[in-house]
Amino acid sequence: MIHTTILSWVTFIYFAAFVLYLFRMILGKEFWGKLASLAALVGLLAHTTALVIRWVASYDLGIGRAPLTNFYESLIFFAWTIAFLYLLMEWRLKNRSLGAFVLPAAFLIMAYASIAPGINNRIEPLIPALQSNWLTSHVLTCFLGYAAFTVSFALGVMFLLKRLASGKSRPGLFFRLLPDDDIIDELIYQCTILGVVFLALGIVTGSVWAHYAWGSYWSWDPKETWSLITWLVYAGMLHARLVRGWRGKRMAVLSIVGFGCVLFTYLGVNFLPSLHSYMS
């Protein structure tokens, strides 16, 4: 179908954007940064178009559902939320340095969706228990939270690399173009807050949907349990900052640890018996 072709091209566009962001960081020429931003924006617009086409196609097939429900669709939507949130931040901050750290995540997710064996990219109907608008709200809020945590992770990696380079007598141009430590630290904090809020909404909407679908608000399903663990890790991170005054390196490390929980919540539990398994 045409939307899968567009999504294949989007994968390469995101990779091109990453390379251009990298050129900008290595060469110090804003020309490359402008090209990178343009490529990322074109990729996001094409990505959005493909999602809309897939959504319309589901209605043409008599299924009529948002493209958010199987593993393939969750991957491409996850990549979309990352690209969207990054470009929004770039527009607000007027700083392109983060692109070299965030765009690889969008590219790798799209590449995995395209080439990983066993991933079903067909549009198929949902079982009756899953046919609810609560499902769309649940998936949307969860992945916006995941995207915020992904950006927080990228910022944490950026902070640690910058701190590592600061020990050298003459850090390279790449590191000199990175924002100040205090700015990176504040962005980690803000992205974490955003992620905590959206994941909390995802857990709440998921509970309502579970009651609608299975008759129980909470069943300690592995996905539910790990979503709660992930939320508690990031909530603890915010608590440590606000109450204990943790900043800088500690927050950067916690953003990386938290992202490990996100990956296990999203991918790891698929290998466990679960009502939420995406392995289809």
- Report pLDDT for 280: 36
Give CA–CA dist 151/259, Å, rounded.
10
For residues 180-191, give the mean pLDDT: 94
Domain ranges of the chain: 127-280
Q: Roughly how many angstroms between the first and final C-alpha of the chain, as a whole number?
A: 19
Q: Are 83 and 47 spatial neighbours (Cβ–Cβ below 8 Å)?
A: yes
Residue for token pair 């998921």: 206
DSSP per position, 194-245:
HHHHHHHHHHHHHHHHHHHHHS-S----HHHHHHHHHHHHHHHHHHHHHHH-
Q: Report angle CA 179, 183, 187 to the nearest 5 degrees.
A: 110
Structure tokens at 13: 């566009």
CB 141 within 8 A of CB 198: yes
Count how many Cα atoms sit within 13 Å of the Cα of residue 71 in the half-sphere of its side chain: 19
Residues in the chain: 280
pLDDT digits (tens, 9 = 90+) for 14-33: 999 999 999 999 998 999 99
Q: What is the pTM of this model?
A: 0.92
| pLDDT value at residue 279 | 38
Residue pair 237/258 in contact (Cβ under 8 Å)? The answer is: yes
The per-residue pLDDT for 273 is 56
Q: Residue 89: which of 46, 157, 152 has the closest Cα?
A: 152
Residue 1 identity (one-letter amino acid):
M
Q: Over the stretch 41-99, which tens digit does the pLDDT of each residue have?
A: 999 999 999 999 999 998 888 888 888 888 899 999 999 999 999 999 999 998 999 99
pLDDT one-digit tens code per residue, 146-179: 999 999 999 999 999 998 887 676 777 888 888 8
Instruction: Give tens-digit pLDDT for 130-143.
Output: 777 778 888 899 99
Nearest to 207 by CA among 141, 154, 160: 141
Q: Which residue has the tokens 């909404």?
A: 201
